[in-house]
Chains A and B, each alone.
Chain A
Amino acid sequence: MKVFDIALKDLLRALRNTFFLAFGLVFPLLMAGIFHFAFGGLGDDGGVPQVRIQFASLDETGPEYGHFSAGEMLFQLLDSEELADLLQVTPSLDIESARAAVDNQEADVAVIVPAGFTAAVFDPDGRASIELYQDPTLMLGPAIVGDIVSSFVDTFAGSKITAGLAYDLIAEQGAAATEETLQDVSSRYAHWAIELKKEAGANSLIEFRSPSGDDKPAGGAVSMVALVMAGMMVFYVFFTGAASAQSILQEEEDGTLSRLFTTPTPQSTILGGKFISIFVLLVFQVVVLLAVSSLFFEIAWGDPLPVALATLGLVVVAASFGIFITSLLKDTRQTGIVYGGVMTVAGMIGMSSVFTGGASGPMDTVSLIVPQGWGVLAWRLLLEGGGLSDVLFPVAVTLALGVGFFVIGVLKFKKRFA
């Protein structure tokens, strides 16, 4: 079959092309690799590294507070099972040794609870500050701990307001509101609020999950490395699609396309062979990127069937978009503008949702104005633990877009060579 002979020839040429090897395979892996090492290196789940905490508490309690200790409560929160993947908490005997651990880089941050912290919680006018002593070279870990501690302190601020309100209401009812009642309301509110937050997962920063897994519900946060890899894959697959379609223009300029037209080979066979090679090359590229990223970055892309569907959608839309965009060009001199401009800008818009870390936002919507955005969406859903039903819609959109681009591109090429 001549159509496969042509496709095979184009594939052979592409695989001998350093441009394809660099832009198609090396660059996307390199970019993801940079993020991988920046966010924790090899050996863990590719997410944020564990934050080492030295916890020193000078807090006191007593019977007047029902033996409730706010400092102890903070320790239990930081040392809880839910945060075990993220935080490694070590109790410290005193403030100095906690700080020394940070100075010696044995800990990333020291959480120091002052004396009278519990008393300040129960006293409507009481004040006490938790000190965070951190390694100045670190950004992310201390920021996470700070966020958790702030959230904890906010809870007690709420409890004070609640207790005050309860006290006023009881007084209005004519009942006697004692100091013990007030403390009891405050303490129970704090416990309730913290438990509620845990259940609702209201604090997004303390609920880190693996890219996928049976116990990971859809919609959770995913590893930045996995998201970047998905974005880079989509970006460069579109790039490869356009660069491969460029071979039609290149052959036209080299005279080999005209020569092919002088052989007893139908024009549809010649163009068909070239289109097949583009599709096959992109499938090869995606499979290699998925396999290598899975192996080296430990990215779990999801179940085979939805992954296959997402691959199909991405390959079809990227190849077709390449054929379409190339059909608009007069010659290879114009490809620099298109690749450097249109493809790059469209790719960046499509990838914009990657940099929001998978959280919903306006960039998600903006990214969908370009076909790359739909490709990224399908892969992001997979990384968030989505299944077949989740990726069906974005895959259907990519396939529909792909068919549209392909038809227009083919018609333009047929007209060009008629």
Chain B
Amino acid sequence: MNDKAIQAQDLHKNFGDIRAVQGVSFDVCAGEIFSLLGPNGAGKSTIISMLSCLLEPVQGDARVMGHSIKSEQMAVKAAIGVVPQEIALYEDLSARENLNFWGKMYGLRGAALKQRVDEVIEVIGLTERQKGRVSKFSGGMKRRLNIGIALLHRPRVLILDEPTVGIDPQTRRNILDSIKELNQRGMAVLYTTHYMEEAQELSDHIAIMDHGKIIASGTHDELVELVGELDRIDLVINTESERVMAQWQAAKGVHQITAENGKITLLVDDSNVVLPRLFESASREGARITSVEIQEPNLEAVFLHLTGRALRD
């Protein structure tokens, strides 16, 4: 038995002239949470679609629980549970009717189906509302049901495509806790997100993506080491001044500086030492710093370090 739940090798996918995925390779071990972290358009969802057999790679292949996504699609589909980014439910059916239907699509029947539907309803906390029409549900309840459907057939691999987009903090907390719990039961999880905090909290392994490529991969600590012990300072000044920016760029201890949407981000050796120098330079040029935020090294800083851009929505 292979201990690799997913083995992706040199995956490529183009949409016309757009090269959405370019030579992506990674492994997800059994019982591991693996996150694909990157901005919108990085190619995360395209990879999920290929692993779910919705799209065929133009080059490369992937094996899910040992089955090729190109030649053994039914076996791959039986092994995975997919939680799409958008809520994909029949709103005019009840929660239970939805689960019954999707359970049948995964091959469950009779008593086994009923038992499993009962279990999932309890896991996602919809026991009281199981007969209610989904159209009457809150966004959080729909999200939970959306995930519950993917759990019906006890998949070996759970694939979640940005499941927390556009939801309230409480529901997000519930979803993240559920994923951890499922993982503790031995399920391999492939998770895509553009929220650095989620990847940091959940993942055993993180691959950072940009422009269809994995630009860095490893554990959280391994990735942070890529930027060394650099601190990150986010500043806002009351005037746009190229001279101030030039002075800060040249200041001792400053490694990188970027400006985006009125906010200036610097990667520095030690913020306690560098920050007074920044205030002094700004003052000399007649500018005033109106906001300061200091962060310890994190994945955001890694992305900034690797791409020169901030990891934004």
Chain A contacts to B: CB under 8 angstroms:
2, 5, 9, 12-13, 16-17, 254-256, 258-266
Partner of B105, one of A16, A254, A258, A263: A263
Q: With an 8 A cutoff between CB atoms, is B275 at the interface?
A: no
Are B86 and A255 interface neighbours, CB within 8 A? yes
Binding site for A on B (CB under 8 A): 52-54, 74-75, 77-78, 80, 82, 84, 86-90, 92-93, 97, 101-102, 104-107, 149
Grouping DSSP codes into helix (H, G, I), strand (E, B) and loop, the A interface class, with mixed when no group exceeds half, is helix
Candidates B87, B93, B106; contact of A263 at CB < 8 Å? B106
Distance (Å) between the CB of A361 and the closest chain B CB? 45
Tell me, in angstroms, the Cα distance from A264 to B102 when the chains sit together. 11
- A259 and B84 contact, Cβ closer than 8 Å, known pairs A5-B104, A9-B90, A264-B106: yes
Q: Which 6 A-B pairs have the closest CB atoms?
A: A255-B88, A263-B105, A264-B77, A259-B88, A264-B78, A262-B82
Chain A contacts for B75, CB-based, 8 A: 264
Q: Is the CB of A5 within 8 A of B88?
A: no
Q: Which partner residue on chain B sits nearest A10 by CB separation?
A: B90
> In the complex, what residue of chain A is closest to B133 when comparing beta carbons?
A16
Whether B107 and A254, one on each chain, are in contact in the complex, defined by CB atoms closer than 8 angstroms, is no
- Complex: chain A residue closest to B77, CB-CB: A264
Please indicate the chain A residues that have their CB under 8 angstroms from the CB of B105 in the complex.
2, 5, 260, 263-265
Q: Find out whether the CB atom of B88 lies under 8 angstroms from the CB atom of A256.
A: yes
Residues of B within 8 A of A13 (CB): 90, 92-93
A–B complex contacts, Cβ < 8 Å, 27 sampled = A2-B105, A5-B101, A9-B93, A9-B101, A12-B97, A13-B90, A13-B93, A16-B92, A17-B92, A255-B86, A255-B87, A256-B88, A256-B90, A258-B54, A259-B88, A259-B102, A260-B105, A261-B53, A261-B54, A262-B52, A262-B54, A262-B80, A262-B82, A262-B84, A263-B77, A263-B105, A264-B105
* Complex interface: chain B residues within 8 A of A266 (CB): 74
A259-B82 in contact (CB<8A): yes
CA distance A197 to B139 in the complex (A): 76
Assuming the A-B contacts A264-B74, A264-B106, are A258 and B101 also in contact, with contact meaning beta carbons closer than 8 angstroms in the complex? no
Chain B residues lying within 8 Å of A5, measured Cβ to Cβ, are 101, 104-105
* Shortest beta-carbon distance from B216 to chain A in Å: 29
By beta carbon, the residue of chain A nearest B107 is A264
What is the minimal beta-carbon distance from B36 to any residue of chain A, in angstroms? 17
Chain A residues, CB < 8 A from B101: 5, 9
CB-CB under 8 A from A9, the residues of chain B are 90, 93, 101
On chain A, the residues within 8 Å of B88 by CB distance are 254-256, 258-259
A400 to B74, CA, bound (A): 35
| Distance, CA A12 to CA B94, complexed state (A) | 11
**B54 to nearest A CB, angstroms?**
6
Measured between alpha carbons, how far is A2 from B92 in the docked complex, in Å? Answer: 20
Q: Which residues of B contact A264 (CB under 8 A)?
A: 74-75, 77-78, 105-107
Assembly CA distance A283 to B287 (angstroms): 77
Smallest CB gap from B48: residue in A? A262
Q: Which B residues lie within 8 Å of A263 (CB)?
A: 77, 102, 105-106
B97 to chain A, nearest CB (A): 8
Task: Select from chain A the residue with minimum beta-carbon distance to B101.
Answer: A9
Which residues of the other chain, B, contact A17 by a CB distance below 8 angstroms? 92
What are the residues of chain B within 8 A of A265 when measuring CB–CB? 77, 105
Whole-angstrom CA separation of A2 from B97 in the bound complex: 15
A258 cross-chain contacts in B, Cβ below 8 A: 54, 84, 88
CB proximity of B99 to chain A, nearest CB, Å: 12
Q: Which residues of B contact A254 (CB under 8 A)?
A: 88
CA distance A261 to B76 in the complex (A): 12
Q: How far is the CB of A293 from chain B (nearest CB, A)?
A: 29
Q: How far is the CB of A228 from chain B (nearest CB, A)?
A: 32
Residues on the A chain within 8 Å of B84, using CB: 255, 258-259, 262
Q: A5-B105, A17-B92 are in contact. List 13 more A-B contacts (CB 8 A).
A: A2-B104, A9-B90, A13-B92, A13-B93, A254-B88, A258-B88, A260-B105, A262-B84, A263-B77, A263-B105, A264-B105, A264-B107, A265-B77
- In the complex, which residue of chain A has the Cβ closest to the Cβ of B88? A255
Q: CA of A77 to CA of B199 in the docked complex: distance in angstroms?
A: 96
Decide if A262 touches B93 in the complex (CB within 8 Å).
Answer: no
B102 contact set on A, CB distance < 8 A: 259, 263
Q: Which residue of A lies closest to B74 (CB)?
A: A264
CB nearest neighbor in A for B82: A262
- The interface residues of chain B lying within 8 Å CB-to-CB of A2 are 104-105
| CB of A265, distance to nearest CB on chain B (Å) | 5
